[in-house]
Amino acid sequence: MHQVPLYIGGEMRQSTSSQWLDVLNPANQEVLAQVPLATEDEVNEAIASAKEAFKTWKDVPVTERARIMMRYAQLLKEHHDEIATIICHELGKTFEDAKGDVWRGIEVVEQAANAPSNMMGETVSNVARNIDTYSLIQPLGVCAGITPFNFPAMIPLWMFPLAIVCGNTFVLKPSEQDPLTPMRLVELFEEAGAPKGVLQVVHGAKDQVNQILEHDDVRAISFVGSCAVGQYIYDKGTANLKRVQCCVGAKNHLVVMPDAHKENVINNLVGSSVGAAGQRCMGISVAVFVGQSKQWVDDLKTALSKVHPGTWDNQDAAYGPQTTAAAKERILSLIAKGKEEGAECLLDGSDCTVEGYEKGNWVGPTLFANVTPDMAIYREEIFGPVLCCVFVDTLEEAIALINDNPYGNGTSLFTASGAAARKFQHHIEVGQVGINVPIPVPLPFFSFTGWKGSFYGDQHTYGKQGVRFYTETKTITARWFEDDAVSGPNMSINLK
Ligand code: NAD
């Protein structure tokens, strides 16, 4: 049985832990590997190694640091399909979708190679006689990242390349559900020329995260995952005076105007709601039909009933299994609750199986109509292939509905009207907006800007804000005396 190693001080090593978890293929429950819950000493050692490496890494010229990212991006491209296949095995994504997971991560590494232009300070000369003020952007020290199961390539790549190119060192605690993908990313990072100790990986769950949250030498923590865990990490991390950014759960609405292109609306709703088995934080879980567009729901049902989950190597599979049996059970109980609470279940994927893979965590496409905001299927993040339809009369009602929702990760409007689009993008209280685009995840020269209950923190992930998150600004005020000029005692704080 493959035992997933830790990565400490530039060495892959076997954990001495007595506690190990199985890494399962969710399509058939085959045990692929075992992952350790790292011991307290191992976590301490990883942080100490990152602290030690920071002493020299921070002084490596930024151009050299950036060149490692260029090589890394190239290596990731060369190993693109191989990494995608690992994702397929441990998470069950279809091959096309897994390739997207890798590619969206590579784009962040490419942007990390461009980080120096975002690390430029500001200068004002002659702020007083012979005095100039300028700022330097400098790394923080040891940063840590805690990542979720659903994008095992992309989300670790949101974090460590940018933190490290800025001059920090990093401790990654990946999801215990699919740790094989991040370990391959780490091997390639070393191959790209990353010095020993710059990146560490510790495996584990709550206890290991707690240790990171409490450790004096960790300066900043990036988290992506569920709301409950994100709140805990934000509270505890900031209470321990760390810089924390947490990208958390979502309930994303797609608003359909009656003037939109019907076929495009239906195709985009199908892909964005059940794609990746609904396990995307930017996936669409609520369709808001405005006015007469509600007549399209029958066609939506027909389109959804034609798609089926399946194994990653089945070309006809629209999406894969849920990540765990527990996740599947939770989704089924929410579907049952939706029916109990009076939503109209037009398509029920609760009883779904895939021939030859009967033990897989399959859930079929599920469609509810006449959903109201008080229902559990509307309030809770289902994170499964379940789409809830809400009917309203006007765009203003749709905007009010979305603005009342506690989450604010992503939303989308499908329309042929520029005026409607402008009103929507201006008034909507959501951080990432698509106009005729269902999943508006920004490319990494922007930042990933969830709002409200979908994000805790100040500076968002990647882009310019990511660089700000992983750096300090130092402001220098400098005077150079000309010749023998003498400055007398200055009793005020004015610069003279
Ligand atoms: P999760 O919160 O269960 O786990 C995330 C990480 O936290 C894992 O590394 C896990 O080991 C760790 N963890 C779990 N319980 C913990 C605890 N009690 N204390 C400390 N650490 C703990 O999330 P998940 O199920 O892996 O991922 C799905 C969630 O992630 C969804 O809610 C989804 O919306 C969210 N997500 C958000 C974004 C975003 O950008 N906003 C992106 C991807 C996923």
In a domain, 493, yes or no: no
CA of 225 to the centre of ligand 1 (A): 2
pLDDT, position 32: 98
**Residues near 458 by beta carbon (within 8 Å), at least 6 away in sequence:** 245
Do 240 and 305 share a structural domain? no
Q: Determine the pLDDT at residue 483.
A: 73
Is residue 484 pLDDT above 80, yes or no? no
In this model, does residue 485 exceed pLDDT 80?
A: no
**Does residue 443 lie in a domain region?**
no
Tokens standing for residue 324: 């765990």
Place of tokens 């010229």: 61
pLDDT class for 302, splitting at 50, 70, 90?
A: very high
What are 129-150's pLDDT values in tens digits?
889 999 999 999 999 999 999 9
Shared-domain flag, residues 30 and 165: yes
How far, CA to CA in Å, does 246 sit from each of 102, 168, 228, 466?
21, 19, 11, 12
For the CA of 409, the nearest atom of ligand 1: 41
- What whole-number distance in Å separates Cα of residue 230 and Cα of residue 232? 5
User: What does the pLDDT look like over 460-481, one tens digit per residue?
Assistant: 999 999 999 999 999 999 999 8
For residue 495, what pLDDT band results from cuts at 50, 70 and 90? confident
138 and 275, same domain (yes or no): no
In terms of C-beta density within 10 A (0-12 exposed, 13-18 middle, 19 or more buried), how is residue 488 classed? exposed
Does one domain contain both 231 and 262? no
| Cβ count within 10 A of residue 496 | 10
Query: Looking at the structure, do residues 291 and 420 belong to the same domain, yes or no?
Result: yes
Flag whether pLDDT at 173 surpasses 90. yes
Residue 216, pLDDT score? 98
Q: How far apart are CA 63 and CA 115, in angstroms?
A: 9
* The total number of structural domains that make up the chain: 2
Residue 217 placed within a domain: yes
Ligand 1 binding pocket includes 249 (Cβ within 6 Å):
yes
For ligand 1, say whether the CB of 4 is within 6 Å of any of its atoms. no
| DSSP for residue 292 | G
Query: In terms of domains, do 188 and 242 share one?
Result: yes
Q: Are residues 421 and 462 in the same domain?
A: no
- Buried b / exposed e across 389-413, counting CB within 10 Å, b at 16+? bbbbeebebbbebbeebebbbbbbb
Give yes or no: residues 100 and 209 share one domain.
yes
pLDDT of amino acid 486: 78
Q: Is 283 in the pocket of ligand 1 (CB under 6 A)?
A: no
In this prediction, residue 392 has a pLDDT band, given cuts at 50, 70 and 90, of: very high
Inside any domain, residue 485: no
Residue 444 resides in a domain: no
Same domain, 393 and 463: no
CA of 68 to the centre of ligand 1 (A): 29
450 lines ligand 1 (CB under 6 A): yes
Give the pLDDT of residue 21: 98
Is the CB–ligand 1 distance for residue 205 below 6 Å? Answer: yes
Assess if residue 390 is contained within a domain: yes
pLDDT digits (tens, 9 = 90+) for 308-334: 999 999 999 999 999 999 999 999 999
Considering the domain architecture, whether residues 224 and 351 belong to the same structural domain is answered as: no
User: Tell me: the pLDDT tens digits for 55-94?
Assistant: 999 999 999 999 999 999 999 999 999 999 999 999 999 9
Per the CB < 8 A criterion, the answer to whether 442 and 230 are in contact is: no
CATH assignment at residue 469 = 3.40.605.10
**Which ligand 1 atom is nearest residue 233's CA?**
20
Residue range(s) defining the domain that contains residue 416:
253-406+410-435
Q: How far is the CA of 249 from the centre of ligand 1 (A)?
A: 8
Residues 315 and 233 grouped into a single domain: no
For range 226-252, the mean pLDDT: 98
Segment 37-56 mean pLDDT: 98
Using only C-alpha atoms, the chain has a radius of gyration, in whole angstroms, of 25
Q: Report percent pLDDT > 70 for the chain.
A: 100
> Is 119 domain-assigned?
yes
Contact 448, 442 (CB under 8 A): yes
Residue 99 has pLDDT above 90, yes or no: yes
206 lies in the same domain as 293 = no
What is the length of the chain? 496
Sheet containing strand 432-435, edge to edge, reads 344-347, 366-369, 386-392, 284-290, 252-256, 410-414, 432-435
CATH of the domain at 366: 3.40.309.10
Q: Is pLDDT of 488 > 90?
A: no
Catalytic machinery residues: 281
pLDDT at 489 > cutoff 90: no
Average pLDDT over the chain reads 97
Note whether residue 496 is domain-resident: no
User: Residue 8 Cα, ligand 1 centroid: separation in angstroms?
Assistant: 23
pLDDT of 215 > 90? The answer is yes
Burial label, 480 (beta-carbon count in 10 A; 0-12, 13-18, 19+): exposed
**CB contact at 8 A, 77 and 70:** no
Cα 238 versus chain centre, distance? 20
- Ligand 1 pocket residue status of 454, Cβ below 6 Å: yes
